[in-house]
Structure 1
Amino acid sequence: MTTFHWLLFFLIIQLIHGLGTWKLYEKAGRKRWEAFVPVYNSIVLMKIINRPTWWTVLLFIPIINLIMFPVIWVETLRSFGKNTTTDTWLGFFSFGLYILYINYTQEVTHISDRSLMARTKTGDTISSLLFAIVVATLVHTYVMQPYTIPTSSLEKSLLIGDFLFVSKFHYGARTPMTAVAAPMVHDTLPIVKTKSYLSWPQLPYFRFPGFQKVQKNDIVVFNWPADTVYKFFDTSGRSVVKPIDKKSNYVKRCQGTPGDSLQIKSGTVYINGAALILPERAKTQYSYFVTYDMNVPIDFEYVLKDIGCTDGAGFKNETRDTLYLRALTSEGANRLKNIPGIKTVSQIVSQEGEPNIFSHSENWNADNFGPIYIPEAGKTVALNLKSLPFYKRIISVYEGNDLKVVGDDIYVNNKKATTYTFQKNYYWMMGDNRNNSEDSRYWGYVPDDHIVGKPVFIWMSWDTNGKGINKIRWERLFTTVGGDGQPQSYFKYFLGLLVLYFIGEYFWKKRKNAK
């Protein structure tokens, strides 16, 4: 839906509200016209139902309003003496239209001083639960979202089993685009395993101002642009077209920002002709072939653990002297070369073209790629059959134009086009685990409206291969994701503050009881 359609929809809802409540407004001592004025009618309604004016704001926050509307319907009914269980359910299941029935058919009296306390323990519990859901949804949507690392694409920097807090405010919180969705879940409802949202209607994209822009080398959480999988890690082959904010969440490192020229040579990323310098915490990994002397005993389990290789697959047997390592840093490879019995350590660099590489350019692959231009909003590029594969998805999908190719001519919105001006900014995202990451090399650019947030904190790290208490990676608890130098755990400081809190609470209660 466009902004105009939403405005029209909003005005229709306001008209229905006015027609369905104006008599109730009069019975509460207000003017009938006050029921029809957008926004102002909500402020007046809060006074009628004896609720704080700031509740009006909650009615206009996507997802939060889905929780608040039923609350307002029930509160309105109770403010006019309709407080039976039947009245409550009728208000809820009629989507508030029961109020219209009351407005025209029932003689009711406004209760201006009604008690706001729940009459039953169940009612009190429901009220508390709804309040907790509203607060949690606000935090989850606009401040901080928990996130789990599911794959090894950022191995070393982020590990499988890391539990993160992802900041929404660093890059600016994005308001939900999916208007009807369950709060605090992504695309799937737990237990029942069904969609958690309705694909229609969709709100226009809007992002609040952030404290910073996405920078090169930032680790970023974003919605996977090419996502059509029914469910993450689903192997059934089912597919579904998802709204932007319900596409699967990916986490990668930003390697290119709008306006950059990016190229990959032998696995190294070059930006505007210069090799991209990674931060100290980034540990780029590649795949290697290792040959060794079969007559020299080598404890490979110990060696690989010592050099930080957790992803080794062996061809090693009695007749073969080669080991394949899927993910190893260059530092680890240099250390491996110095171990007695190791003959060669060779980084695997692909030289042949990959058919599934982005733009399907001949001879390009994950290790040798580009150069390509990363689109910047407002910039114009030449558009022809050679450049079209790079920008086709941008023009037709991300920016919503009608794109056609007739012979050698390209038409955008039924007009012949030899140039194209970008409407959005785009980013290039890649994993540090270079040979084991599905990233922009395969599906292309990430539009700015797909950016979710910035990981800032690891609060828990769970190693499924560990045993007992060692399943928890203690050294990673309460560590920051970004910053200079090596990660440092603040877990001991957290424990200290927790102990001080309980000690302080104990003495406070003891002193209070003494009085």
Structure 2
Amino acid sequence: MKKNFLNIPYKYWYEFRVLITLVIIAFTIKSTLIEIYIVPTGSMENTIMTGDMLVGNKFVYGMKTPPWIGLPYTRIGFDIPWLRFPKYKTIETGDVTIFEFPRDPFQKYVKRCIGTAGDLIWMENGDIFVNQKPFLLPKKAKYIHKTREKPGLRGAGIYSSFKGNKDNLNEFMVPYNGMEINFNEIEDWNSIVTLLVQDGNDVQISDKSFTVIDPQEIGRTKGFLKYMLMGLFMNKNKVRKIQNNDRINFTKNLINKNRENGIHNPWEFLDIMKKHPEDIYNNLKINGVFAKDMGFYTIKHDYYFFIGDNRDNSYDSRFWGFVPDYQVLGTPLVSIINIFKLTDLLKFNFNQFFRFEYIK
């Protein structure tokens, strides 16, 4: 039987080419146009329910080519250059948005945008204020004229000062492209170093380098699908114990590997140095240049601040800060089904399973 250069019999060659073409088309659509997401938590209830399958529009904020290539649903692969095409609309305050989680871009989050680049935000006793006006979450949420100041960034109130406070935040400005940081006025270096790393810089203090990729977050979701499938056939408490042990060991190994290579998360390492801010100021390098010699730094990206509609049970920007423009993916269009309603076939409810509800 004749074969081609891939050693595939000619009678199967046509089918093979069709299969490869379909895979490429499917991957392209998934990466750039439309993607299906399953929501594992209740952070956006009751707008989006736990287990909802969402259809996401990935071109509304500007179609983005894949920044990574590798085996789907794994971390096996490598980064590649990417670009973003012109957008149909800009993100507005109140938009429900899908984005890459800054501390682990393999995780995709969906939250509501509370502040866009340049907005002034504060929270007082649970009430949110954006540019001096109250921001009201939609009625479904469980917790029931934009201006820009002169470019400049105060030293406090931009990142680590959040500390996960659910109901009270001091006033801060969401960073934007063109905003200036004056290194001589910085009080909260934790905030600034994190922002500098997110802005695409090589940031170092002495022999220490910084990354916002958090081993704790990577370990938290490792093997999520595997353990979910194990739970269908094993005692859930036993599966949970196995998962916790695996997560702890995996996270420890990642942290140790980073430390051996001199890589740290800013919010951990700089907390140790906060009693001696002069050491940070004197030793901080940005792309090989001392910050004290630069004087100022101009931010290169726009940033966004996100909060879940179910605010009391949402892991969001109040805990981990801003999302840069390059990690914004799109917006959910519609919830089509809820897969968690399949867990008990004896109590299956057709109307609850097929939701088909537009997200807004």
TM-score, length-scaled by structure 1: 0.48
User: What does residue 198 of structure 1 align with?
Assistant: 77
Secondary structure of 1:165 counterpart: strand
Residues 353-372 of structure 1: pairs in structure 2 closer than 5 A: 359-361=159-161, 365-372=165-172
1:217, distance to aligned residue in structure 2 (A): 1.1
Alignment of 1:425 onto 2:302? yes
User: What does residue 123 of structure 1 align with?
Assistant: 13
1:172, distance to aligned residue in structure 2 (A): 1.2
1:455, distance to aligned residue in structure 2 (A): 0.3
Alignment of 1:132 onto 2:35? no
**Is the alpha carbon distance of 1:381 and 1:272 closer, same or farther for their aligned partners in structure 2, counting shifts above 3 Å?**
farther
Determine if contact 2:126/2:168 at 8 Å carries over to the other structure: yes
Alignment of 1:283 onto 2:151? no
* Unmatched 5+ stretches in structure 1: 1-82, 93-117, 189-194, 228-243, 286-329, 331-356, 483-515
1:476, distance to aligned residue in structure 2 (A): 5.3
Secondary structure of 2:348 counterpart: helix
Residues 192-271 of structure 1: pairs in structure 2 closer than 5 A: 195=75, 197-199=76-78, 202-227=79-104, 244=105, 247-271=106-130
**Is the alpha carbon distance of 1:396 and 1:143 closer, same or farther for their aligned partners in structure 2, counting shifts above 3 Å?**
closer
Separation in 1, partners of 2:297, 2:178: 10
Instruction: Give the letter aligned to residue 224 of structure 1.
Output: F
Q: Deviations over 1:141-176 (max 9, x none)?
A: 121000001101001000011101100111111111
Determine if contact 1:162/1:462 at 8 Å carries over to the other structure: yes
1:279, distance to aligned residue in structure 2 (A): 3.9
Alignment of 1:274 onto 2:274? no
Structure exhibiting the larger radius of gyration computed from Cα positions: 1
Q: Deviations over 1:472-508 (max 9, x none)?
A: 44485322112xxxxxxxxxxxxxxxxxxxxxxxxxx
1:374 corresponds, among 167, 171, 174, to: 174
RMSD value over aligned CA atoms?
A: 2.9
Alignment of 1:477 onto 2:355? yes
Separation in 2, partners of 1:391, 1:473: 49
1:142 corresponds, among 32, 35, 39, to: 32
Alignment of 1:447 onto 2:305? no
Alignment of 1:181 onto 2:92? no
Q: Deviations over 1:263-320 (max 9, x none)?
A: 111122111222113345x4142xxxxxxxxxxxxxxxxxxxxxxxxxxxxxxxxxxx
1:359, distance to aligned residue in structure 2 (A): 4.0
Q: Deviations over 1:84-106 (max 9, x none)?
A: 25x324xx9xxxxxxxxxxxxxx
**Is the alpha carbon distance of 1:363 and 1:429 closer, same or farther for their aligned partners in structure 2, counting shifts above 3 Å?**
closer
Separation in 2, partners of 1:88, 1:462: 40
Secondary structure of 2:194 counterpart: helix
**Is the alpha carbon distance of 1:470 and 1:459 closer, same or farther for their aligned partners in structure 2, counting shifts above 3 Å?**
same
**Is the alpha carbon distance of 1:363 and 1:213 closer, same or farther for their aligned partners in structure 2, counting shifts above 3 Å?**
closer
User: What does residue 193 of structure 2 align with?
Assistant: 392
User: What does residue 88 of structure 1 align with?
Assistant: 6
**Is the alpha carbon distance of 1:447 and 1:456 closer, same or farther for their aligned partners in structure 2, counting shifts above 3 Å?**
same
Determine if contact 1:463/1:471 at 8 Å carries over to the other structure: no
Q: Deviations over 1:306-355 (max 9, x none)?
A: xxxxxxxxxxxxxxxxxxxxxxxx4xxxxxxxxxxxxxxxxxxxxxxxxx
Instruction: Give the letter aligned to residue 88 of structure 1.
Output: L
Q: Which has the higher strand share?
A: 2
Determine if contact 2:158/2:174 at 8 Å carries over to the other structure: no
Determine if contact 1:396/1:403 at 8 Å carries over to the other structure: no
Secondary structure of 2:77 counterpart: coil
Secondary structure of 2:326 counterpart: helix
Q: Percent identity?
A: 25
Separation in 2, partners of 1:265, 1:123: 66
User: What does residue 151 of structure 2 align with?
Assistant: none
Separation in 2, partners of 1:433, 1:162: 15
Q: Deviations over 1:236-278 (max 9, x none)?
A: xxxxxxxx4xx21111111110001111111221112221133
2:338 corresponds, among 461, 468, 475, to: 461
TM-score, length-scaled by structure 2: 0.67
1:395, distance to aligned residue in structure 2 (A): 0.6
Structure with more relative contact order (C-alpha pairs < 8 Å, separation 6 or more): 2
Determine if contact 2:158/2:173 at 8 Å carries over to the other structure: no
Instruction: Give the letter aligned to residue 92 of structure 2.
Output: Q
Number of corresponding residues: 270
Separation in 1, partners of 2:194, 2:54: 31
1:463, distance to aligned residue in structure 2 (A): 3.7
Determine if contact 2:334/2:358 at 8 Å carries over to the other structure: yes
User: What does residue 290 of structure 2 align with?
Assistant: 414
**Is the alpha carbon distance of 1:358 and 1:375 closer, same or farther for their aligned partners in structure 2, counting shifts above 3 Å?**
closer
Secondary structure of 2:70 counterpart: coil
1:401, distance to aligned residue in structure 2 (A): 3.5
Separation in 1, partners of 2:162, 2:30: 44
1:399, distance to aligned residue in structure 2 (A): 2.0
Separation in 2, partners of 1:475, 1:226: 32
* Unmatched 5+ stretches in structure 2: 145-156, 206-276
Instruction: Give the letter aligned to residue 116 of structure 2.
Output: T
